[in-house]
Amino acid sequence: MNDFLRKINFIKDIVIQLPVSKIDFIEKFRINVDESNLSYEPFEVFQSSTNEYKGYIENNYFELKKRRKLFDMNYPFAKVTGELTQENDQLIINAEISCFRKRMILFLVGILLFYSLFFISMAFNSENKIPFFIVPFLLVHMSLMIGAPYFIIRKIVNKMAYDLERDFHYWVTKY
């Protein structure tokens, strides 16, 4: 399943190299990321914080998400997990950005079930003739209902990869 999600760009692996020690990066991570276990918080948008991320870091492992803001739909699902390794004077961060949640399968199955039942009922409906223009309209509608979320999620993953690399470099050079 993860291989398929990587092929359709719902999961992306990135490697970031920073000229800093692991101890210094962990310290800067704790300054710039609010401590959280990343569970669902219904009133997160009303919490005030200057940090853009929330998450946690352990010795060689971290998880983080963008903090939700009011009326901001850029990163609704993107979650980053990563490992830290120190090689000489370089810190290497192997991160995985994932935007896929198991509950999305329910949405996809529901959409496909709805359209398949609709097309089957149209095929076996011999009493009332359905106009021909309905079929192309439904095909276009189906492609939008499945295609729009696909392209939105791909954009979220790519933007999160860009922002994460930019912010990590900024944290290192800022202090």
- The mean per-residue pLDDT over the stretch 84-107 comes to 91
* Predicted local confidence at residue 75, as pLDDT: 59
pLDDT grade for 119, boundaries at 50, 70 and 90: confident
Domains and their CATH numbers in the chain:
2-102+145-174 (3.30.310)
Write out pLDDT tens, residues 77-94. Answer: 789 999 999 998 899 999
This prediction has a pTM of: 0.84
**CB contact burial 54-88 (16+ within 10 A = b; e otherwise):** bbbbeeeebbbbbbbeeeeeebebbbbebebeeee
